[in-house]
Amino acid sequence: MGSKTVPHFTIEYSANLDDRIDFSTFCEALRGAAVATGVFPLGGIRIRALKCADYAIADAAEENAFVDISLRMGRGRDLETRRQAGQVVFDAADAYLGDLFDDIPLALSFEVREIDPDLSFKKNSIHQRLKAHE
Is residue 121 at the binding interface for a second copy, with CB under 8 A as the rule?
yes
Active site residue 41: no
What are the backbone angles phi and psi of residue 39, rounded to the nearest 5°? -90, -25
Site for a second copy in 56-115 (CB under 8 A): 56-61, 64, 66, 68, 72, 79, 82-83, 86-87, 90, 94, 101-102, 104-113, 115
Per-residue b or e along 30-63, where b marks 16 or more CB atoms closer than 10 Å to that residue's CB: bbebbeebebbbeebbbbebeeeeeeebeeeeee
Q: What angle do CA 10, 16, 19 make, to 5 degrees?
A: 95
Q: Given the rule CB under 8 A, which residues bind a second copy?
A: 6, 8, 10, 12, 14, 23-24, 26-28, 30-31, 42-61, 64, 66, 68, 72, 79, 82-83, 86-87, 90, 94, 101-102, 104-113, 115-116, 118-126, 128-130
Positions annotated as catalytic residues are: 7
